[in-house]
């Protein structure tokens, strides 16, 4: 069964003024769609892999045949990363976290502002294209901030992504040009903490 582009859960303009409609349209309809198309093309000759979820594919890349491993890494990762990305953003969202994730952030980083600074720093210093993530699976149950290049996903490294921000230029350049730090700061206004809490809860039952 072919992988499909998930529908955006809100209007293209719903995240304005923080993320423009033009960025969202290009990001979802062009970039994410291309990752899905290329993932399906890579799997065409490997029927045994077509029933696997994209998460399972990137979680166990070493089991993917070498001739398509790079394509699955890049495009499967792009599909997984963006499918999460749309869900953890929402209109009229942002602010400080609530619920279990708020407590976990406080326990792991000392407080939300300390976490935000560390997260933004990770995104700013990621050289070239990539992502900055909040992941579980650390020592003593602590959460960690990590960065990955390109469309790599923390699942490949045995970590569990709870939330992540896209720092590829296509995620912000039409609006923020080279001001990545400004984009990272503005992004907190659209974080959907309800969805982040769901992802955190799913981690706790693994």
The predicted-structure confidence for 2-56, as pLDDT tens digits, reads as follows 899 999 999 999 999 999 999 999 999 999 999 999 999 999 999 999 999 999 9
Decide if 126 is inside a domain: yes
Q: Is residue 123 domain-shared with residue 30, that is, in the same domain?
A: no
Rg of the Cα atoms in the chain = 17
Decide if 121 is inside a domain: yes
Q: Please report which confidence band the pLDDT of residue 191 belongs to, taking 50, 70 and 90 as the band edges.
A: very high
Q: Is residue 118 domain-shared with residue 70, that is, in the same domain?
A: no
Q: Which domain holds residue 118?
A: 99-204
Q: Is residue 109 domain-shared with residue 192, that is, in the same domain?
A: yes
| pLDDT at 112 > cutoff 80 | yes
Tokens coding 18: 């923080």
Nearest to 92 by CA among 13, 204, 6: 13
Q: Residue 205: CB partners within 8 Å, gap ≥ 6?
A: none
Q: Is 45 exposed, middle or buried (0-12, 13-18, 19+ CB in 10 A)?
A: exposed
Decide if 61 is inside a domain: yes
Decide if 114 is inside a domain: yes
């Amino acid at each position: 069964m072919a992988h499909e582009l998930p529908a955006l859960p809100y209007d293209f303009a719903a995240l304005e003024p923080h993320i423009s409609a033009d960025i969202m349209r290009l990001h979802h309809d062009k970039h994410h769609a291309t990752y899905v198309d290329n993932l399906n093309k890579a799997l065409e000759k490997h029927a045994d892999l077509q029933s696997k979820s994209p998460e399972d594919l990137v979680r166990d890349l070493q089991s993917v045949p070498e001739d398509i491993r790079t394509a699955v890494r890049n495009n499967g990762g792009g599909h997984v990363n963006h499918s999460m990305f749309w869900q953890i953003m929402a209109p009229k969202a942002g602010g400080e976290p609530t619920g279990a994730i708020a407590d976990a952030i406080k326990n792991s980083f000392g407080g939300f502002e300390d976490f935000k600074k560390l997260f933004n720093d990770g995104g700013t210093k990621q050289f070239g294209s990539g992502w900055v993530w909040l992941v579980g699976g650390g020592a003593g149950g602590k959460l960690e901030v990590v960065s990955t290049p390109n469309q790599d996903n923390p699942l490949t490294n045995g970590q569990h992504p709870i939330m992540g921000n896209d720092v590829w230029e296509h995620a912000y350049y039409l609006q923020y040009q080279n001001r990545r730090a400004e984009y990272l700061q503005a992004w907190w206004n659209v974080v959907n903490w309800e969805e982040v809490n769901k992802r955190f809860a799913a981690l706790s039952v693994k």
